[in-house]
Amino acid sequence: MTERRVRVRFAPSPTGALHIGGVRTALYNYLFARQHGGDLIFRIEDTDSHRFVPGAEEYILESFKWLGIHFDEGVSFGGEHGPYRQSERRDIYKKYVKVLLDADKAYVAFDTPQELEAKRAEMPNFQYDASTRMQMRNSLTLSPDEVNRLMAEGKQYVVRFKIEPNEDVHVHDLIRGDVVINSSVLDDKVLYKSADELPTYHLANIVDDHLMEVSHVIRGEEWLPSAPLHVLLYRAFGWEDTMPAFAHLPLLLKPEGNGKLSKRDGDRLGFPVFPLEWHDPKTGEVSSGYREAGYLPEAVINFLALLGWNPGNDQEIMSMDDLVRLFDLGHCSKAGAKFDYKKGIWFNHEYILMKPDAEIAALFKPVLQEHGIEPGQYTDEYLTRVVSLVKGRVNFVKEIWEQARFFFVAPDSYAEKDVKKRWGADTPRIMGELMDILRNLSDFASKPSEEVVIGWITDKGYHMGNVMNAFRLAVVGECRGPHMFDITELLGREETLARIQRAVEVLGDRG
């Protein structure tokens, strides 16, 4: 048998914001497709019109654009297997529903919601299946004439899958191995509803995977219970030879590890569960997103890749190219993956460190603007230097402001406890001497000025810590920040002198 071309798909239902678990599913599909030189399809599964949320499809597409996950075909990407939006494929599904009906693998059922309700009241564990279907109103119990009459009258009906009982159904899962379930536990699933002339998820999903020549179905664990039914559907259609391989990814668990990750965990602990900020059109509720919270897309990708998979060693930092090379469904875990959001923050820190300073500086410009500073006043070189001095101290680009404020505004007050500790009676006099030294420096760059200033403090026998901290207090406003002479080099001589002068005026002799 010739190797089949790898074709995978990400098939969200546009029912709201894309959950971070869905992003991981899409990522694994992407890595798998890239690695095998295959195709990744973007299909919209919108057959449940009641759950349709406007804007969701656009949101999902924008999320992947931001994250750098590219699709080869599908909604908005084109391709030869379209249309890729299920609501535009009604005629295709109708044709396949008929195939099953004609082959006696499915039947038409007219039971109204009230009748089903009554049946459930009568039989507590009622399930519409081989053991009960002959007691119901369907094409197996009604005469063909009656069925035709009801249909002609426009009575609403559903098409149900006729599942043969007492048969072991095997799902071969690339992560979980052989999963066996007895067909008797399955109910005769609704495949099609006349009310909206649309198939249900199960039928549309199988027909599309078949017609789109999908080779592997990689999806979340929550779909594992549907898999036996899907296997039976492939068989009913006679498509077992081209049935895709299944891989059900481990669940994402709460950070504490007990139970499924939910939006509430994010609200409770302060982390996003959506890639982008989401404005719910129905409730008006706004939910935070990784992009708006200040995560770099590369960091989010790296973080998500390791939730349920590892490269087989303890390597943690991996670019998308590394991941494409290393990813392996065989190394995915069966057990759920704890959503360690703090690890996500750590990845962001690491990616800020790894990225060129100039790139971070560009991302910092809007932050400056938010704080009322026009970035255009500064050269890119200046901003890049500022970033290089403080980025080791931040997890998010927006935190650079907190660390670098004094590079943009002179202190208007001085940290009280530092003043108490470092500003004494003779500090103004010593600062006066320091200003003379700085004024006369032939080279104001970090290294040479450090040498001269340290030499002067030593020669005079001054207290190194007190003088340097008073100096820092005057320039920064408090006793913290990067290397002092890197700061003064960047601020320049004039600004440095002006700040010391001002501190002397404001603080005077506090002794």
The footprint of ligand GLU (CB under 6 A) covers 11-13, 45, 205, 219, 223
> Which residue among 263, 343, 365, 398 is the active-site one?
263
Distance of closest approach, residue 381 Cβ to ligand GLU, in angstroms:
48
Per the DSSP assignment, residues forming a β-bridge with 180 are 170
Is residue 83 reached through a cis peptide bond, with omega within 30 degrees of 0 on the bond before it? yes
Cβ atoms of 341 and 269 within 8 Å: the answer is yes
Helix (H, G, I), strand (E, B) or coil at 35: helix
Burial of 410 (0-12, 13-18, 19+ CB in 10 A): middle
Helix (H, G, I), strand (E, B) or coil at 165: coil
Considering the complex, what minimum distance in angstroms separates the CB of residue 128 from ligand GLU? 23
Question: Which residue's CB is nearer to ligand GLU, number 29 or number 496?
Answer: 29
Q: Quick one: which H or E segment has residue 298?
A: helix 297-305
Secondary structure class of 278 (helix, strand, coil): strand
Whose tokens are 């993956």? That residue is: 337
> 242 vs 446, which CB is nearer to ligand GLU?
242
| Between 74 and 428, CB nearer to ligand GLU | 74
339's CB contacts (< 8 A; 6+ apart) are: 20, 252, 253, 254, 255, 261, 265, 307
Instruction: Give the shortest CB-47-to-ligand GLU separation in angstroms.
Output: 9
State the Cα–Cα distance between residues 53 and 281, nearest whole angstrom. Answer: 8
Q: Smallest distance from the beta carbon of 16 to ligand GLU, in angstroms?
A: 11
Min separation Cβ 13 and ligand GLU, Å: 4
Q: For residue 390, which of 295, 492, 482, 483 has the smallest C-alpha distance? A: 482
Give the residue with the Cβ less far from ligand GLU, 209 or 489: 209
Does 263 qualify as catalytic in the annotation? yes
Q: How many CA atoms are closer than 13 Å to the CA of 328, on its beta-carbon side?
A: 8
CB of 10 to ligand GLU, least distance (A): 7
The overall longest dimension of the chain from CA atoms, in Å, is 113
Task: Tell me how far CA of residue 459 lies from CA of 111, 452, 463, in angstroms.
Answer: 99, 10, 11
Nearer to ligand GLU, 11 or 301 (CB): 11
Minimum CB–partner distance for residue 52 and ligand GLU (Å): 12
Secondary structure element (H or E) that encloses residue 119, with its range:
helix 113-122
Inter-CA distances, 46 with 9, 57, 340, 418, Å: 15, 10, 32, 62
Tokens of 39: 């195709």
- β-partners of residue 217 are 246
Radius of gyration of the chain (CA): 33
Q: Of 191 and 503, which has the nearer Cβ to ligand GLU?
A: 191
Alpha helices in 355-463 (DSSP H): 357-370, 380-390, 400-404, 416-422, 427-440, 446-460
Paired strand residues for 178? 172
Q: Considering beta carbons, is residue 215 or 384 the nearer one to ligand GLU?
A: 215
Residue closer to ligand GLU (CB basis): 44 or 404 = 44
Minimum Å gap between C-beta 329 and ligand GLU is 15
Choose between 13 and 395: whose C-beta lies nearer to ligand GLU.
13
CB nearer to ligand GLU: pick between 96 and 423: 96
Render the burial of 354-392: b for 16+ CB within 10 Å, e for the rest. ebebeebbbbbbebbeeeebebeebeeebbbbbbbbbbe
Q: How far is the CB of 483 from ligand GLU (least distance, A)?
A: 52
For residues 142 and 134, give the distance between their C-alpha atoms in angstroms, rounded to a whole number.
10
Catalytic annotation, residues: 263
